[in-house]
């Protein structure tokens, strides 16, 4: 289970001013200009393609992932952003929540193949605290994703902080088995941001043959030589990377690149995990354990986690104080609704606005329907839970007219009714009704949910119409 929590000690953050940097795209080889811009609260991250008509915006959303080959590609309405992960990792690692990323190409500049320069740009811009509190999803249960084809898996478990551990093993003597662990996000800037991307020689050859990595050079990627370097390959690499001489050093790395860390490959994989999981769109409090991670498994896990989070968010029970006087008691409810006992299933209205209502029903053993449903094991009928929702919805609708006593609500349609847990005597049902669309021509569309002790027990979509009473 995952649930939403407002961390009152943490405010949302954006950058203090715009900041720009430029470089080349790893695949296109074209010069790219990228600008970080401050954004409002709850904006999140989004890319803006300034090189296209209308300057289309692509939100950093895992559901927009269309490709994970050599990087994570997002696409919305035919417009894409390639290799988004290094930029997003920098924003998450610097604990910045809301930023617009303007870019005049389909891919951010590769820089040195890490997040280092993006982090430096954020530091240069400065970080500004915002007013609204930051929401976090607290991991309470173990959630996993396993990819049978690659043998990769990612698991998240409860933790006090956002932690990430990566374990990589590509079955080569050159790279070997490597691990990396980040205990807190505060470590990202100094211990992970400068970890550069890496590739194997056979992959480089394939990419060159397919006309890719036009912006690559030996300074923005660690190349592990996993095969014999032929003269023909040497010449191709010299031409591609504009080098007079290329050699393999004793550590098995092409040319004269010096590793920042012995486990730089594992650290970069950790960076990628952070960047890819940024696409979930919310802060996480939990420990991620990634075994042989890659963009595909990262984003598939991200989609699974995003779906769970969204479902939990939709099904969060309303926070109500039962010790406070209600907005409407049962006598006031009966002035609005025509229902009377034993068919009145709403005891209190705790909260009401133009678009939502929260009501309460105390379930007692005295309910007459328990005589037949069921005598040996009394259960509150699901159909009556829906009826109680409808009554709360009726109060919400009639609250929109000045003379509710002159109107009736007739429910025309019930969709997507679901029953999760049985309701029994002694339970207190909390009902939450929200408008799915504005009231038009007396017709209203609502989403209803019922909760007991914070657990969703039933839900349904209701369509109703207001009708004026006929005079006798």
Active site residues per annotation = 295, 373
Cα(314)–Cα(352) distance, integer angstroms: 19
Closest CA to 124 of 13, 278, 21, 271: 21
Burial of 368 (0-12, 13-18, 19+ CB in 10 A): exposed
What's the rounded Cα separation, in Å, for the pair 315 and 373? 27
Furthest C-alpha separation in the chain: 101
- How far out from the chain centre does Cα 331 lie? 44
């Amino acid at each position: 289970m995952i649930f939403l929590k407002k961390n009152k000690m943490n405010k949302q953050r954006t950058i203090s001013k715009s900041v720009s940097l430029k470089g080349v795209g790893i695949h296109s080889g074209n010069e790219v200009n990228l600008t970080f811009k401050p954004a409002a609260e709850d904006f999140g991250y989004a890319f803006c393609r300034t090189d296209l008509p209308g300057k289309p915006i692509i939100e950093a959303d895992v559901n927009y992932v269309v490709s994970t080959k050599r990087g994570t590609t997002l696409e919305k309405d035919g417009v894409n952003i390639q290799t988004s992960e290094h930029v997003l990792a920098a924003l998450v690692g610097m604990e910045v929540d809301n930023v617009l990323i303007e870019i005049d190409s389909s891919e951010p500049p590769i820089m040195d193949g890490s997040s280092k320069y993006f982090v430096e740009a954020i530091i240069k811009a400065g970080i500004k605290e915002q007013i609204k509190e930051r929401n976090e999803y607290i991991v309470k249960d173990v959630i996993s994703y396993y990819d049978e084809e690659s043998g990769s898996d990612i698991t998240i478990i409860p933790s006090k902080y956002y932690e990430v551990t990566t374990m990589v093993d590509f079955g080569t003597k050159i790279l070997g088995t490597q691990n990396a662990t980040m205990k807190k996000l505060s470590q990202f800037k100094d211990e992970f941001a400068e970890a550069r991307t890496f590739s194997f020689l056979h992959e480089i050859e394939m990419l060159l043959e397919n006309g890719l990595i036009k912006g690559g050079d030996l300074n923005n990627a660690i190349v592990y030589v996993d095969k014999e370097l032929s003269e023909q390959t040497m010449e191709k690499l010299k031409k591609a990377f504009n080098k007079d001489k290329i050699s393999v050093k004793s550590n098995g790395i092409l040319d004269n690149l010096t590793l920042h860390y012995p486990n730089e490959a594992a650290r970069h994989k950790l960076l990628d995990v952070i960047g890819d999981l940024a696409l979930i769109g919310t802060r996480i409090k939990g420990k991620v354990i990634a075994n042989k991670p890659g963009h595909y498994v990262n984003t598939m896990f991200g989609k699974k986690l995003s779906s769970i989070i969204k479902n939990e968010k939709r099904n969060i029970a309303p926070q109500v104080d039962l010790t406070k006087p209600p907005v409407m008691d049962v006598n006031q409810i009966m002035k609005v609704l025509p229902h009377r006992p034993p068919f009145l299933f709403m005891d209190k209205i705790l909260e009401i606005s133009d678009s939502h209502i929260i009501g309460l029903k105390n379930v007692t053993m005295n309910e007459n329907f328990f005589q037949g449903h069921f005598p040996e094991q009394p259960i509150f009928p699901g159909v009556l839970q829906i009826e109680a929702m409808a009554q709360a919805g009726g109060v919400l609708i009639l609250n929109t007219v000045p003379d509710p006593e002159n109107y009736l609500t007739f429910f025309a349609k019930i969709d997507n009714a679901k029953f999760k847990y049985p309701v029994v005597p002694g339970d207190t049902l909390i009902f939450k009704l929200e408008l799915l669309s504005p009231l038009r021509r007396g017709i209203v569309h609502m989403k209803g949910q019922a909760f007991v002790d914070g657990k969703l027990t039933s839900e349904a979509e209701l369509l109703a119409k207001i009708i004026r009473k006929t005079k006798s």
